[in-house]
A and B are shown apart, each in its own frame.
Chain A
Amino acid sequence: MNKKLRLIIYVVICLAFLVVVSQKVYLAQQAKKYGQSYKFRIYGYDPRDIFRGNYLLFNFENWWELAAACREANYEKGETLYWIITTDEKSNISSFSRVTKELPQQGAYIKVKYNGWGIDPPFDRFFINEKRAAAAEKDFQAAVRRKEAYAKISIYNGFAVLENIYCGDEPLVKN
């Protein structure tokens, strides 16, 4: 391979990788800027990722029921589905009410894929600094027991970004 061709391929590959990384930033910033925020009740625990550090692994409260509903509906593996979000006006807590194949014309939704036995939740982890992980895990578990653990999510055009985790009214990450 000559020098010029090698350099051209190198530039193309680096640009492609930059686009992949930046696309995540762009979509997340769009959702944060223009999206609407929702609070979901969650539960979970604290494992560790060797490459990316400590995180809280969580799931949405009614995720298992929706996974069972998907299995009953006989969706095809890999099929794109939409999680419809409803919000309780009294408590201001949102939940995923149902799953549909058709793109919703109104209301908030999140685009997901059927994995053959359920749906991969749009978020399942919240990264946290290692030195605060133990205390955060303790607060989080106490909040889960009180049913006061929430995930705050911004959604824009079906793309969602996780803003913070709340134990009661206290955010887990302050800045």
Chain B
Amino acid sequence: MNKKIFTMLLEELPTLQAKGILDKDNSERLHNYCLDEMATMPKCNQMLHMLLGVFATLLIVGGIILIISFNWDMMSVGNHLLIGYLPFLLAILAGGYVLLKYPDNVGARESAALVVGGCGASALAVVSQCYQTLGTTTDFLMVVLIFWLFLILIFRSFALGMAYALCFAWVVSEINDNLPVIIIVNLLFLGILPFMIREIFIDANRWRSKITQVTFMLIATLWYVQMSDHTLHQTTMIPVGVMYILLGLLLSERCRWNLLTPIGVIMVMTNLCLVIVDRCRGVSEISPEFIVSNVLLLIGMAYIIWKKRCCETYLALLPLLLIVGQFIVADKKSYIVKSSVFFEFVAMGVFAAGGIILLWLGYRRRSFGMMNFGMLLLVVLVLTKFLSLSGDYAVAGIIFIAFGVVAFIINYLLQKTTRKAAGEK
């Protein structure tokens, strides 16, 4: 039963009691039952308000950053340091307050972890810039990640965990054969593993778990590839694919819809197709180990499809089609993909339209997954525009703030509509 039915039932209870269909005790029991059931249901509207709130905050913060950046050269080193340190010190205090007063409030913990982690990283970046300190982006991220790792564990923050994973992907893809760096990267990977595994297993049906699955896939692949001293190529994808399939099988005992299994299958199938294509062109040989491992994987796939009824496994056909398609049109139409028109207009249009449609559909159907993806597409679009702004910072900053304010207004109106529908004042 959905929330609407429970609400209708609650509304009907006094009438039913008045007509003598239900006695007082039964009416109370039914009333309590409905309230309990409704309390355990996901609060879709709250989620939307939270997402819009985060989105609006991001836009306003982005706008403020752009305006500061516009005036940056006119400020002294002291002012630069103040801009770096002050938010960090305030964030530390706010984080401590959250740990003391609201240790069980998920929203407060997530926000505090993000703010403390972000302000810490920006303080280090500002100091590095002020004194022109030596060091690559990878060095910078390694210092920040050590700090973030502790914050993630202390605040149990999912959002910072995901940011950590993305930065880790950057770090691990840039490492060389420097032993201390390899040791640090390994420790960073091992440090985040318990958190990610907990997130995947704690409730495999949540989108949080599914996002963690994809993130895990990203960092585990890069980590594996770099640590085995290979570049990302077909043979290294086989064991990684096996790892995903095994973990996916393990998860599918708890949850039929998991992403690791299809992703593992996609990787293996892609790998298989690429090797076959290479073989057809006479570029590489197919070794006996390769044949054996792929036959085993195909058996594994057949088992998953047959026993677990994991229909997403059919997604494995997509890369196959993609590769075949690429080979058919590669010579004639590759200029379309390379064209700047494609990226500037088509890709951005798809992102924006996709984001808005998903948000709308998600709201209508009360689906968090759709809304999350919609927000994700829009955030990606905003971030890419933020990082590639070619115009005036001050104008761009004002546009960002204006969009943020609009998002807040939409949030307020939605909240008002929801309250009205619920009969609240």
Residues of A within 8 A of B (CB): 3, 6-7, 9-11, 13-14, 17-18, 20-21, 24-25, 28, 49-53, 115, 120-127, 129-132, 161-162, 173, 175
Q: Please give me the 3 A-B residue pairs with the lowest Cβ-Cβ distance, nearest first.
A: A28-B131, A162-B132, A13-B150
Query: Would you call A21 and B154 a contact (CB within 8 A)?
Result: no
Shortest A9–chain B CB gap in Å is: 6
Q: Which A residue sits closest to B93, measured CB to CB?
A: A14
Identify B116's interface contact among A14, A20, A122, A126, CB under 8 A.
A14
Shortest A99–chain B CB gap in Å is: 17
Which chain B residues border A3 with CB–CB below 8 Å?
99-100, 103
Query: Would you call A10 and B147 a contact (CB within 8 A)?
Result: no
Residues facing A in B119-162 (CB within 8 A) are: 120, 123-125, 127-134, 137, 140-141, 143, 147, 150-151, 154
Query: Would you call A123 and B151 a contact (CB within 8 A)?
Result: no
B72 within 8 A of A: yes
Identify A173's interface contact among B73, B116, B123, B134, CB under 8 A.
B73
Query: Would you call A21 and B123 a contact (CB within 8 A)?
Result: yes
Identify B95's interface contact among A14, A51, A115, CB under 8 A.
A14
Given contacts A51-B125, A161-B131, 12 further A-B contacts (CB under 8 A): A20-B124, A21-B127, A24-B128, A24-B133, A25-B81, A50-B137, A52-B128, A121-B134, A122-B134, A127-B129, A129-B69, A162-B131
> Known: A7-B99, A9-B154, A13-B147. Is A24-B131 also a contact (CB below 8 A)?
yes
Q: Which A residue sits closest to B120, measured CB to CB?
A: A17
Which chain A residues border B69 with CB–CB below 8 Å?
129-130
Interface centre among B128, B133, B147, B151 (most CB of A within 10 A): B133
> Known: A13-B147, A126-B132. Is A25-B127 also a contact (CB below 8 A)?
yes
Shortest A157–chain B CB gap in Å is: 16
Please, how many residues of chain B have a CB less than 8 angstroms from a CB on the other chain?
39
Which chain A residues border B134 with CB–CB below 8 Å?
120-125
Shortest A54–chain B CB gap in Å is: 10
Shortest A30–chain B CB gap in Å is: 11
The interface bits of chain B over 167-193 (1 if a CB of A lies within 8 angstroms of the residue's CB, else 0) are: 000000000001000000000000000
B349 within 8 A of A: no
Residues of B within 8 A of A (CB): 69-70, 72-74, 76, 81, 84, 88, 92, 95-96, 99-100, 103, 116, 120, 123-125, 127-134, 137, 140-141, 143, 147, 150-151, 154, 178, 387, 393
> Known: A52-B125, A52-B129. Is A131-B99 also a contact (CB below 8 A)?
no
Provide the bound-state CA to CA distance between A157 and B69, in Å.
Answer: 34
Query: Would you call B132 and A7 a contact (CB within 8 A)?
Result: no
Which chain B residues border A21 with CB–CB below 8 Å?
84, 88, 120, 123-124, 127
Shortest A160–chain B CB gap in Å is: 9
CB-defined A-B contacts under 8 Å, sample of 24 = A3-B103, A6-B103, A6-B154, A10-B99, A13-B154, A14-B95, A17-B120, A17-B147, A20-B124, A21-B88, A25-B131, A28-B131, A49-B137, A50-B387, A121-B134, A125-B134, A127-B129, A129-B73, A130-B69, A130-B393, A131-B70, A161-B132, A162-B132, A175-B73
Query: Would you call A9 and B72 a contact (CB within 8 A)?
Result: no
Shortest B229–chain A CB gap in Å is: 16
Which chain B residues border A122 with CB–CB below 8 Å?
134
Which chain A residues border B99 with CB–CB below 8 Å?
3, 6-7, 10
Provide the bound-state CA to CA distance between A121 and B203, in Å.
Answer: 50
Which chain A residues border B96 with CB–CB below 8 Å?
7, 10-11
Which chain B residues border A28 with CB–CB below 8 Å?
130-131, 133
Which chain A residues border B100 with CB–CB below 8 Å?
3, 7
Provide the bound-state CA to CA distance between A62 and B376, in Å.
Answer: 49
Which chain A residues border B92 with CB–CB below 8 Å?
14, 18
Which chain A residues border B120 with CB–CB below 8 Å?
14, 17, 21
Provide the bound-state CA to CA distance between A130 and B124, in Å.
Answer: 19
Q: Which A residue sits closest to B167, measured CB to CB?
A: A51
Provide the bound-state CA to CA distance between A25 and B133, in Å.
Answer: 10
Shortest A14–chain B CB gap in Å is: 5
Shortest B146–chain A CB gap in Å is: 8
Provide the bound-state CA to CA distance between A24 and B387, in Å.
Answer: 27
Identify B143's interface contact among A20, A124, A129, CB under 8 A.
A20
Which chain A residues border B88 with CB–CB below 8 Å?
18, 21
Provide the bound-state CA to CA distance between A125 and B81, in Å.
Answer: 19
Provide the bound-state CA to CA distance between A156 and B88, in Å.
Answer: 29
Shortest A133–chain B CB gap in Å is: 11
Shortest A134–chain B CB gap in Å is: 11
